[in-house]
Amino acid sequence: MSMPRKVRKAVFPVAGMGTRVLPATKAMPKEMLTVVDKPIIQYAVEEAMAAGIEEFIFVTGHGKSAIENHFDRAAELERALEERGKMAELKILRESLPPEGSVFYTRQRAPLGLGHAVWCAKGFVGNEPFAVLLPDDIIVSHKGNALKDMIALYEETGTSVTLVTDVPREHTRRYGILEPAGDATGQAVKAKNFVEKPDPKDAPSTLANVGRYVLSPRIFDFLDEKKAGAGGEIQLTDAMVELMHEEDFYAWRLHGERFDCGDKAGLVIANMAMALRRDDLRTQLMPALEALLESAQKGEKKCA
């Protein structure tokens, strides 16, 4: 019997401690930090919903109950909004939720790496292809929905896909970098290997992984081995490299923007960028940002 080809499920690894944004994450999951008026995790869930995902699997850890609460009905709040005639707010609240019965939670009991977190979802994924979304990365596609396009490529070819974006060569040491198998100029680039955080002079390309994957269930054959990789953790990239030695594997080039909310500067930048994309906020923010920038530049000159 042939393997199911439709990609219906998505895994969200949300067990990390968020140490790069302490003290904000001391008592709050980093995925619940807000970008404008939505938690970071909601951007990823809405992206998956728009791409046609039907089942949402969260790999959580200790202290993550706020995520479960966020994607549940808030009966008292909804009733209060309705009584006060705040129907627009009520509509936003309800539309932000995945359909009832489509959300599942499992725990990663020890911080053993991204590969281990994905492995923890195996019982929910089963023998189906699936997407993985890292909530730290907010993806803004300039054309449609990059995840939807990746899913379409998988469903057409049966090959796993990862999202990549061009980065400055001097930044390759921050990312997993694609080694292409041949021409790397197209939208879909066949992958030969991934090199973790290479020195710029040794980087095989400037195409970096950016937290979106559509994977064959065969990835679990390699994650089952629980081999420790970089940092002593079970790395998803290592399993992907093993998989691409046996099957074709593609990288899908992002035409858009990626905002890394995993550190303090990235979180602030994401807030500014997403706020400026909104018509209801842009006119208020632009004068304030210009004034702040002017003030900061004057301060730099005084310090100099």
Q: Name the burial class of residue 190, with classes exposed (0-12), middle (13-18) and buried (19+) by CB atoms within 10 angstroms of its CB.
A: middle
Q: Encode pLDDT of 227-260 as tens digits.
A: 877 777 788 989 999 999 888 999 999 999 999 9
Amino acid at 144: G
Q: pTM of whole model > 0.85?
A: yes
Q: C-alpha 186: how far from its chain's center?
A: 23
Kindly report the number of other CB atoms within 10 A of residue 231's CB atom.
9
**Distance, CA of 206 to CA of 47 (rounded, Å):** 25
**Distance, CA of 164 to CA of 252 (rounded, Å):** 6
Give 180's Cβ-side CA count (13 Å radius): 18
Does the structural domain 9-262 have CATH classification 3.90.550.10? yes
**Distance, CA of 97 to CA of 74 (rounded, Å):** 11
Question: Residue 247, SS3?
Answer: coil
Quote the Cα angle for 191-195-200, to 5°: 115
Per-residue pLDDT in tens (0 to 9) along the chain, 304 residues: 355 489 999 999 999 888 888 898 888 899 999 999 999 999 999 999 999 999 999 999 988 899 999 999 889 999 999 999 999 999 988 888 899 899 999 999 888 889 999 999 999 999 999 999 999 999 999 888 999 999 999 999 999 999 999 999 998 988 889 999 877 778 888 999 888 888 999 999 999 999 999 999 999 999 988 887 777 778 898 999 999 988 899 999 999 999 999 889 999 999 999 999 999 899 999 999 989 888 888 776 666 5
